[in-house]
């Protein structure tokens, strides 16, 4: 359901069963004929690229990784089974794996792109007025990569819990719980850093 008029729903992730079925039909067609992959490719190219660019500094590398994601998706399309999860979640999982491979290979510090609104929202949720960005960055750096990825998706990419859960292969409520726990943990780290 998508709210309109005064009350608005920002998530484009929420879909009806009919939408998911229509997408599954496209996937089934592409499983038989790679040319039919065009629709999926066009539909998700920007989203996947933005997911990658958010995590990779160099724009050319981002384009290369994005192409690699779609090569892999097309190569493995036959193995794909829908199970009620949107196709995009599968693409993002491939993208996340490719990004991890990239950092493993190049041994560089992983980039986290901070969205200003998300940053403010995170400060509010932590009930803290962070006077200097570096306080929060220092606290964030103490998280492990999976925890930071959850915070990144939730606050800096503003993804709904359902989508994060699908990408991270988690249950939605477990995902919410995990994020709340990370926030609690972050508050403690911030307090420690200040004291």
Instruction: At 39, list the tokens.
Output: 């629709």
The residue from 20, 45, 128, 135 that contacts another protein (CB under 8 A) is 45
Pattern 68-97, another protein, x by CB under 8 A: --xx--x---x--x-xxx------------
Instruction: At 45, list the tokens.
Output: 């190219």
- Does 127 interact with another protein (rule: CB under 8 A)? no
Instruction: At 160, list the tokens.
Output: 């709904």
Question: How many residues in the chain?
Answer: 195
- Does 37 interact with another protein (rule: CB under 8 A)? yes
Distance CA 26, CA 12 (A): 19
Distance CA 105, CA 111 (A): 15
CB of 120 to another protein, least distance (A): 12
Distance CA 93, CA 36 (A): 22
Instruction: Tell me how crowded residue 168 is: count the other CB atoms within 10 A of its CB.
Output: 19
User: Which residues contribute to the site for another protein (CB under 8 A)?
Assistant: 1-11, 14, 16-18, 21, 28, 31-32, 34-35, 37-38, 41-42, 45-46, 49-50, 53, 57, 59, 62-63, 66-67, 70-71, 74, 78, 81, 83-85, 107, 109-114, 116, 119, 133, 137, 140-141, 145, 148, 160-162, 165-166, 171-173, 176
């Amino acid at each position: 359901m998508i709210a309109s008029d005064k009350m608005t729903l920002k998530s484009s992730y929420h879909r009806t069963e009919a939408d998911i079925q229509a997408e599954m039909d496209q996937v089934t067609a592409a499983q038989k004929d790679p040319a039919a992959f065009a629709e999926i490719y066009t539909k998700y190219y920007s989203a996947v690229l933005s997911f990658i660019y958010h995590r990779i500094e160099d724009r050319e590398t981002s384009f290369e990784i994005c192409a690699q994601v779609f090569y892999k998706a097309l190569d493995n399309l036959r193995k794909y089974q829908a199970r009620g999860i949107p196709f995009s979640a599968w693409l993002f999982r491939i993208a996340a794996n490719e990004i991890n491979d990239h950092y493993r290979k190049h041994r560089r510090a992983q980039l986290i792109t901070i969205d200003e609104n998300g940053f403010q929202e995170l400060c509010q949720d932590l009930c803290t007025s962070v006077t200097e960005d570096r306080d929060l960055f220092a606290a964030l750096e103490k998280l492990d990569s999976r925890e930071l990825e959850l915070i990144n998706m939730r606050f800096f990419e503003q993804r709904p819990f359902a989508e994060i859960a699908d990408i991270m292969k988690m249950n939605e409520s477990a995902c919410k719980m995990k994020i709340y726990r990370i926030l609690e943990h972050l508050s403690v780290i911030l307090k420690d850093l200040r004291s």
